[in-house]
Every structure is written in C-alpha cells, then in structure tokens.
Amino acid sequence: MTDAWEERKRAIENKYFHDLEKELIEKIKIKTREKLIRKHCLNRCPKCGDPIDAINFRGVPMDKCMGCGGVWLGPNDLRILAEKDHRTWFDRWFKQEEGDQ
C-alpha cells in the first residue's frame, strides 16, 4: 500500500513544475511573436502596413508613409521641432488643413 501523503506531495510537485513550464513556454511564444512582428514590420507603416520612406524635415529625421500620409517621429523629434521656429512649420501644417476644409 502506498502512502497517500507521498502521492499527494508528488502530485503537488508535478503540478508546480507543470505550471512553471507552461509559463516559460508562454514567455517564449510571446518573445518569438514579437521578433516576428518586428522582422516583418520593419520599414512599414504601423497604421496601414505600406512601406515608409525616410525623410528629413528641418534637419529632423522622420518616416513618412506614402500610402496613408502618416508621419512617424522618433522619441525626441517632436521636441526638437518645437524648439525650432514653431510658427513656420506649425502654421504650414495646420493652417493648410484649415484651408483645405
């Protein structure tokens, strides 16, 4: 006759390792998925998926989608643009939109 406490102890231990392995497998799947997304979305518009072109506006590098017209800035690019002569570029971008309506 086997000891019920030993069986219970082994079952709990097996469940612990099963859950641990399941968690590790999920983490690996997430990392793999992120790598695939980065690989296949490189130089693609996050909005529509069309290829993006690198442009330079007032000395600030940015990416522009020719498909949807989206402009993608780096982490500090908007701050750099705001420090420049803001009336010129701001008026050009936003006053033009008002005139188009």
Say whether both 90 and 71 belong to one domain: yes
Alpha carbon 16 to its chain's center? 33
In a domain, 71, yes or no: yes
In a domain, 47, yes or no: no
Q: Which domain holds residue 3?
A: 1-42
Domains: count for the chain: 2
Say whether both 34 and 67 belong to one domain: no
In a domain, 61, yes or no: yes
Residue 95: per-residue pLDDT: 63
Comparing 23 with 79, the larger pLDDT belongs to 23
Looking at every residue in the chain, the average pLDDT score rounds to: 81
Three-state DSSP class for 31? helix
DSSP annotation of 5: H
Residue 85: per-residue pLDDT: 64
- Per-residue pLDDT reduced to its tens digit, 40-87: 777 888 788 888 888 888 788 888 988 888 888 877 887 787 777 656
Say whether both 93 and 58 belong to one domain: yes
What distance in Å separates the CA atoms of residue 33 and residue 35, rounded to the nearest whole number?
A: 5
Say whether both 57 and 89 belong to one domain: yes
Question: Does residue 98 carry a pLDDT above 60?
Answer: no
